[in-house]
Structure 1
């Protein structure tokens, strides 16, 4: 799938809005940016935000955020984002993005990759 400039802007906006919702502890707001599959997996906004708090502190409360160039990972449109975790550890978050039938982008997973040793 070809990613247009408009797609890139929209993908970044979705991630930025979800990060802003996490910063405000807005579980419902953050949940709206997750894909239907992610929403089904966690069931409620509260379950979702609790998982992020516990398993993804760098996503929940990043000290800094830097967007890299969109790429494809295992046939998934992927937005790499450099994050500085609350403890000062740099990480790369790989956001798997999914375009919905209404052309709205949603986050369909996030994987953290260590940058240590690079």
Structure 2
């Protein structure tokens, strides 16, 4: 997990600030997936995952179970606010400030990649308790 967070932080440092339309599109995808989680709609949540994620989790129910177990602040939260975003070459990194159901603060770094059809799909999400060292 620590290596994934370090890699995500490194990638975020390499990319330039994102254009407003890229940010809006990325935030729409992330927001839509979060809404699908809140309705326990595994098929909809899974539809926002990139092909590489779908290769690891070949069915929507497997994907949803992983999110419930490993990303509970993303799955269920009190608040979900977008922070800084950066983009480079079709890849967008978007920070999200999350308050979980227990009132604890988290930082998520989503990465999204533009697909061949022009859509954006989520390629990863690194999750770290706010204030915790990387």
The verdict on a shared fold, with TM-score over 0.5 as the criterion, is: yes
User: Within 5 Å, which residues of 2 pair with 1:30-49?
Assistant: 30-49=45-64
Residues 1:61 and 2:76 aligned together? yes
TM-score by length of 2: 0.80
SS of 1:69's partner is: strand
Mapped pair 1:24 → 2:30: no
Displacement of 1:4: 2.5
Number of matched residues? 116
Runs of 4+, deviation exceeding 4 Å = none
Aligned equivalent of 1:98: 113
Aligned-residue offset at 1:108? 0.3
> Which residue pairs with 2:126 in the alignment?
111
Over the residues paired in the alignment, what is the CA RMSD in angstroms?
Answer: 2.0
* TM-superposed deviation, 1:117: 6.3
> Which structure has greater helix proportion?
2
